[in-house]
Structure 1
């Protein structure tokens, strides 16, 4: 993995400046805070999509259209940057989490596509994305997102990971009737085993990152549903509003902290 040469302190972080030898990475360095925000974002994506479509009565088509426009705006703002800006990047992640959830929900609920078919299709789409990305750039590393083309591959892969994670999580929790809690424990155990594989057994870092990125989606969605769904459906009954606001508050707090410290910013060798 590329070294992080940015030294953070408790003062507001200055934007990283490109030099002849180094350039800012456009995505955050992978830290414990990265995974915390990612988990909160995917959980909020699940509950926010349910709130807009069901509680507000917008329905899946209208909710999908509104959130897709919001995602386009967030990604336009993200691509306008030439470095990682925490609040812009994580806004795009939250929006893509919601849209990824809605893609799968529309396929299953409106078009009648089975969860098995959705899961297999998104595995194929993600594999194709990685194949084209690697053929084009020669790497899948998140430590070298320094061009617009690489960033486009990065965000497309992330969209498919959210859609795939939604399908896989619903498949296990609903189709196989494992329930929200057991599904969360299952995917949490898979993530833990991948972490052990990376830290102790020499599992490739790029492979470990993308697999964990995929599995955090059904992990977060399962616990989001566990908290928000009514007790008669196996949840704890906190509702989508309380659950969404809870995780949004955590996201804002951690992103603000990361913006102040700059510890997730990364300089990488210029191409």
Structure 2
């Protein structure tokens, strides 16, 4: 029998949980967007989130990176509660961390969005150097060497001195990935990183994600690229109407969905 590559061998010890969502709710006014989501992503795993538009996938990612504050529930990264002190106040409420403390937590998490948002007046090299120099205080010579290494890692060593306007959409997105990696994050979040690209440019960005997965980077990826999920992801999470409807080994769920909702969704995007 062929072993499922998405399922770890029984003899292999499981890696520690790196990202945990516990009963996360998020409401915008009276609109519930997340309705009690529980999710565990272990160190070195690639987790892919799929689901129809408006199902809460991007909001879930933004809660992990503290771009949104959960209405209820908690997010932990490497066992550390995000955004709050563990010890409650006398009235039972949790105390919100100070902005600098939140920034320090957020610096451990890289995020790549649908749009590249590169600085148009800076070269690819300068875009990648920016955060290490100005956020981490890294010496410019060291940041430049690191940036060149990262651009080489995403296949853009020859484009280091080009401005965003001189790069294709796929190249700009790869610069955005290098920029996020420059902060040496423990986990990377990708919010539909290929959705703004022309079809012929999608493959080059997905190849970078595949390379990062092979290097053991922990990743949570929102995407409609089912082929990528089947090939690369360890686990698949299907969201609908703000809830996690199904989750499990990626290839197993894609090849044999348990629910009609997941089956219909996969058929609609293939």
Using structure 2 for the length normalisation, give the TM-score: 0.28
Q: Whose strand proportion is higher, 1 or 2?
A: 2
Q: TM-score, normalised by structure 1?
A: 0.28
